[in-house]
Amino acid sequence: MQTITVAGGNLFQIAAHYLNDATQWIRIAALNDLSDPMLSGVVTLLIPDPDPNATGGIAPQ
């Protein structure tokens, strides 16, 4: 796991860069108690380790 600080952006781009799969944005959101993939302002995020077996894209109900 790693920590990053970003100024705006979205979790899709971050997941694509750090997890090699934009659909895994929901893993980053869950780890950081976020529900919106769009970020505003300066945000520090925990990034999970890449997991090629993880699925993503839709938040569990």
Which residue stretches of the chain are H helix? 11-19, 25-31
Within a domain: residue 31? yes
Convert the pLDDT of each residue in 7-55 to its tens digit.
999 999 999 999 999 999 999 999 999 999 999 999 999 999 988 777 6
pLDDT of residue 56: 66
Range of the structural domain that residue 40 is part of: 2-47
pTM greater than 0.75: yes
Environment class of residue 48 by beta-carbon count within 10 Å: exposed (0-12), middle (13-18) or buried (19+)?
Answer: middle
- Tell me the two tokens of residue 14: 């971050």
Within a domain: residue 30? yes
Within a domain: residue 37? yes
| Those residues with Cβ within 8 angstroms of residue 46's Cβ, 6 or more apart along the chain or in another chain | 1, 2, 3, 28, 31, 32
- How many structural domains are present in the chain? 1
Within a domain: residue 29? yes
Within a domain: residue 59? no
Within a domain: residue 11? yes
Within a domain: residue 56? no
